[in-house]
């Protein structure tokens, strides 16, 4: 490890140690995990992750208005309660559909089980994510731009059927959900079993992307899956068993505009 790498590791390790506490999740320091951490239901937590795009304060405000108990209610009740709901790219029909879809899926299988069945073939979290995305789309049987944006499209693959590193988005919200569900500390929830945290991929957003470039963890300019994988690989040099423990700190460094 170079002298510069040792300095970066020390900086990030200090950030991780300082931020690994409940004081990091407050309305003054908004993050969707603030709302997600109140629940131990994998479907509610996934809703919190999927709607986590845009301004963090507005995301928390939206999530606070959701009546998550609707996942146990009738379709008629879901239609009635969510009739005037919308959020940025999702209209009320999109939001009603995701609630109804999750309600149905909840009665069929667990998200953890669907994910692990695909993941365990090659220890690939990307295959696990893809299985969940395809399952949700199949059960929803509904198409709109807002809904597809919310759930994401299945990964693009090459002629051999392998997920492409180039040409795919970073799937930030899905990788963030995995961080929450697989890692277990004072921030992350650790509710899932059967997934090794060393296989997780950095949930690359604009903050972590810029900070990673600034620190020299990444020398590419493209905001894509390949960049997320490269930064993850670099972070494995700092902690091979838990590289994504650095994600929250990288994000906060960018969000809080800390000089590095």
Give every residue of the chain whose pLDDT is below 70, as ranges.
none
State residue 254's pLDDT score: 86
State residue 1's pLDDT score: 82
Cα(34)–Cα(16) distance, integer angstroms: 17
Cα(94)–Cα(100) distance, integer angstroms: 10
State residue 11's pLDDT score: 93
State residue 257's pLDDT score: 82
State residue 103's pLDDT score: 97
Both tokens of 47, joined, read 């809703």
Task: Give the pLDDT confidence of 18-33 residue by residue, as tens digits.
Answer: 999 988 999 999 999 9
Q: How many CA atoms lie within 13 A of 58 on its CB side?
A: 7
Instruction: Decide if 89 contacts 146 (C-beta within 8 A).
Output: yes
Which residues constitute the domain of residue 49?
3-256
State residue 39's pLDDT score: 97
Classify the phi-psi angles of 39: left when phi > 0, otherwise alpha if psi is within -120 to 50, otherwise beta. beta
Task: Give the pLDDT confidence of 46-68 residue by residue, as tens digits.
Answer: 999 999 999 999 999 999 999 99
For the chain, how many structural domains are there in total?
A: 1
Both tokens of 124, joined, read 């690939």
The pTM of the full predicted model, rounded to 2 decimals, is 0.96
Cα(180)–Cα(189) distance, integer angstroms: 5
State residue 260's pLDDT score: 76
Helices (H), 141-242: 145-151, 172-182, 206-215, 225-235
Both tokens of 199, joined, read 């296989």
């Amino acid at each position: 490890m170079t002298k510069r790498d040792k300095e970066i590791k020390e900086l990030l390790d200090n950030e991780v140690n300082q931020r690994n506490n409940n004081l990091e999740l407050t309305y003054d320091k908004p993050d969707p995990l603030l709302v997600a951490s109140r629940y131990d239901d994998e479907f509610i937590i996934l809703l919190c992750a999927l709607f986590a795009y845009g301004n963090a304060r507005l995301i928390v405000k939206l999530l606070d208005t959701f009546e998550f108990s609707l996942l146990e209610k009738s379709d008629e009740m879901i239609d009635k309660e969510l009739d005037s709901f919308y959020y940025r790219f999702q209209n009320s029909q999109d939001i009603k559909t995701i609630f109804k879809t999750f309600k149905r899926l909840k009665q069929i299988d667990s998200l953890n089980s669907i994910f692990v069945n695909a993941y365990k073939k090659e220890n690939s979290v990307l295959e696990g994510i893809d299985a969940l995305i395809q399952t949700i789309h199949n059960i929803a049987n509904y198409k709109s731009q807002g809904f597809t944006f919310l759930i994401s499209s299945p990964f693009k693959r090459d002629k051999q059927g392998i997920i492409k590193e180039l040409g795919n988005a970073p799937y930030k919200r899905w990788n963030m959900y995995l961080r929450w569900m697989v890692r277990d500390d004072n921030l992350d929830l650790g509710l899932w079993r059967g997934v090794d945290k060393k296989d997780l991929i950095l949930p690359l957003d604009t903050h972590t992307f810029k900070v990673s470039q600034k620190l020299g963890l990444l020398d590419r300019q493209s905001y894509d899956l390949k960049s997320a994988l490269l930064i993850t690989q670099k972070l494995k040099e700092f902690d091979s068993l838990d590289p994504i423990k650095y994600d929250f700190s990288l994000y906060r460094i960018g969000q809080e505009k800390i000089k590095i």
